[in-house]
A and B are shown apart, each in its own frame.
Chain A
Amino acid sequence: MSRTQHNVLPGFRLSLGYAVTYLSLLVLIPLGALIAKSMSLTAGEFWQIATGERALAAYRVTFGAALLAAVVNAVFGFIVAWVLVRYPFPGKRFVDALVDLPFALPTAVAGITLATLYAGTGWIGRFLEPLGVKVAFTPLGIVVALIFIGLPFVVRTLQPVIEDFEPEVEEAAATLGASRMQTLVRVLLPQLLPAWLTGFALAFARSVGEYGSVIFIAGNMPMVSEITPLLIVSKLEQYDLPGATVLAVVMLVISFVLLLAINLLQWFAATRHSGRAAVEPAITLPRTAEVAV
C-alpha cells in the first residue's frame, strides 16, 4: 500500500521522523548491542545454549503461562472496563484508581505479597488448599503473578475506546430492531477489536519478560516452574554475560514475531473497520460541530 492517495493531514514526515529517531536511539541501538554481544559466541555455542533441555522447558513455562494469563486478562479486562465505563456505582473512582496498582507496586513486592496470599496459610490459599488447588510455588502461581502484572493493559486500552462510543450508534441499532447481543457483536465488537488485540498483545508481551514478581511465587524448580528470565539471571551469576545474552536474544525474537503477528492482525481489523466507518460519516459529524464551538 502506498502512502495516502488523498491524505491532506500535515505532520507526517515530522512525526514519523521523530518517532523513528527516538525509537532508534532508545530501543534499536541498545537491542543491537545485545545482539552484537550474543554474536561473540560461535553459531554452535549459540545453538547449544539456546536449545538446551532446560532452556526449552523454560520457554514452555514462560510463554505458556504468559499466554494463559493474557487470555484470562482479555476476558476479565473487558468485563472490568465495561463495568467501569458503563455502570454507575459508588466508589467507582477508587476502583478505577486501583486498576493501575500493578504498575505502581514494585514487582518484587507484588510477588512477595501474592506468594503470601496464596500460600497454604494465606488469606486465599487457605481456602484453595483444602480443595487440592495449590497455587503458590507451582506453575499456577506464575499465571497468577502474570495476571496481576498484565491486568491494567487490557482495561486501560479498552476504556478510552468504550468511552468514545457514540450512544447514538447503539440507539440507532436498537431502533432498527437489533437485540442487545446483536448490537454488541455487530456494532461494538468491530470497533473494540483493535484495542482489544492491543491490550492482549501488551499484557502478553509484558508477561513474557516478567521476573521480579514471578520468582517469589514460582518455586523455581528446574524443568517445572523455572522461567527463562531466571535462567538469564543464573547465567549472570556465573559471570557468563554472552550466555545470558543468547537467551535474551531468543526471547526477544520470539516475542517480536508474536507481537508482529498480532499487530498485523490488528492492523487488518482496523482497516476493515475504518472502511465501514467511512460509510457512516453522519455519526461523527455532531461531534465535529461541538468541537468547533
Chain B
Amino acid sequence: MKCLNRLLALFVLAALPVVASAEVSLLNVSYDVSRDFYKDFNPKFVAAWKARTGESIEIKQSHAGSTKQVRAVADGLAGDVVTMNQAADIQFLADKGFVAADWKGKFKDGAAPFTSTIVFIVRKGNPKQIRDWPDLVKSGIQVILPHPKNTGNGRYSYLAAYGWALHQPGATDKSAQGFVSAVLRNAPLFAAGGRDATTTFMQRRIGDVLLTFESEAELIAREFGHGEFEVVYPSESVLAEFPVAVVDKVVDKKGTRKQAQAYLEYLWSQEGQETAARNYIRPRDPAVLKAHAAQFPAIKTFTVDEVFGGWSKAIATHFKDGGILDQLYSLK
C-alpha cells in the first residue's frame, strides 16, 4: 500500500509544471551523446553561479536525437537552452521564432563552443591499410556509417567525403558525386545511428572502416577497450560545429534569460573548454587545445558553411527527398 502511495505521489509530482520547484531551474535540450560532457559541466556552472550571484540553480538535461529534440521544442518542450550537433536544427527553431534570427551572432565562434570532426576507425593494426579517403572506394573494402540521410553523424560523414573530393585537383561536383557514390557502394548497410554503427563494426565485426566523430572514439574505447581499434585521421575532413542557443520563447515566459545566457557563456570559460577537452570534444580556446594537443592531432578541416553554403542549403540540395544523396543511391 505504501508502495502504491509513493507511486501515485511520484506520478502527481511528475505531472506538475517544472516551475513549481522553489529554486530556479534550467532545462538544457541536447543531442544524445553529449550527456557525459554536461554531467561534468553542469555542477561546475552551478557552483560558479552560486559563487557569483548567491542563487541556487538546478540544471535538467534532456537528450535524444538532435532533430527530434528541436521538433519537441517547437512542439512545446520547455527547454531554456538548446545545445545541438548541427546548425540546421537551431536554424529550424529560428525559422519558427523560438530562437533569435541572428542566433549565430549571439555568442562567439558562430555560437558553437566546441567542434569535432569525422575520422576513420579501423581494426587493430590497420590490416587493410586504410590511410585516407581514396582507400574507402577500393574494391573489397566495406565502409560502415550511420544512415547518411537521417542521422547527424551520417550526414557529417557524407559531407566530409564530398568536401574532400571537391578539393582534389580538377574536381567538379560531378566527380565529387562519383566519389561519394563509390563510398556508398562499399557500405553493406546503413546503421540506425552512430551507436548502432559502432556496435555493428566493433561487436558484430562487420566492415573494415567505421566513419564517426572523433569525440566518439573515446566512448568506443570505454566500451570495447583501447587496444581493439585504431583511429586514422584522413588528410582533410569536415569541421563539425556544435551550436548552442537560448530559446527566447521559453526564457521570456519563465524569466530565466539571465541564467540561460550565463549558462551558455560559461561553455566558453576556461573550465567549460577544459571539461570539453577531457570529454574528447575539441575546444575553441587555442590555449586549451594546445594543452591537449596529444589528444587532438592537427587535421585540415573545412566547415559546412565554406563548402556547402550552410546547413540549411546542404539539407535542401543533398538530404531532401530527391536530393543529390537520393540520386547517388540510384547510381548504385
Contact = CB atoms under 8 A, between A and B. Distances in A.
- In their complex, do chains A and B touch, with some C-beta pair under 8 Å? yes
A239 B191 CA distance: 21
Interface string B170-203: 0000000000000000001111100010011001
A116 B203 contact: yes
29 contacts: A54-B326, A111-B192, A112-B196, A115-B204, A116-B203, A119-B200, A119-B204, A119-B205, A119-B206, A121-B204, A121-B205, A122-B204, A137-B206, A216-B196, A220-B147, A220-B189, A220-B192, A221-B189, A222-B326, A222-B329, A222-B330, A233-B150, A236-B68, A236-B71, A237-B149, A237-B151, A238-B315, A238-B321, A243-B321
A239 B329 CA distance: 21
B38 to A, nearest CB: 23
Interface residues of B, number: 27
A238 B319 contact: yes
Contacts of A137: 188-189, 206
Contacts of A233: 150
Contacts of B206: 119-120, 137
A235 interface: yes
B67 interface: yes
A219 interface: yes
A239 B92 contact: yes
Contacts, number: 66
B68 to A, nearest CB: 8
A239 B203 contact: no
Contact of B205 (A54, A115, A120, A237): A120
Contacts of B150: 230, 233-234, 237
A120 B190 CA distance: 17
A215 interface: yes
Given A137-B189, A220-B147, 8 more contacts: A116-B199, A119-B206, A137-B188, A137-B206, A215-B192, A216-B196, A221-B190, A222-B329
A215 B329 CA distance: 18
Contacts of A195: none
Contacts of B203: 116, 121
B320 interface: yes
A239 B73 CA distance: 13
